Amino acid sequence: QTTKGPQIYVSRSHPGLLKRLFEQEVPEIYDGTVIVKSVAREAGDRSKISVYSDNPDIDAVGACVGS
């Protein structure tokens, strides 16, 4: 069988997925106050995200984890 229209491939192990999820859920990342520097993933096990902010009044890690 063939499909009509475009095909979409979605990968839950891609590091970009986690970055986009944080952009949607953390307002400081969405508006650019906090920057995601890098993402390291072990799919199904753990993930690490490096975040940074130029603003000394903003705790980048606290903004992401809700502190």
Assign residue 42 the CATH number of its domain: 3.30.300.20
pLDDT digits 0-9 by tens, 16-60: 888 898 999 999 999 999 999 999 888 778 888 999 999 999 999
Residue 31 lies in a domain: yes
pLDDT for res 10: 67
Amino acid at 19: K
Residues 6 or more apart whose Cβ sits within 8 Å of residue 41:
13, 15, 18, 47, 48
Position 60 scores a pLDDT of 94
Domain of 48 in residue numbering reads as 15-62
Is 58 inside a domain boundary?
yes
Residue 67 domain flag: no
- Angle, CA 54 vertex, CA 59 and CA 66 arms, to 5°: 20
Give me the number of domains the chain comprises: 1
Global pTM reads 0.71
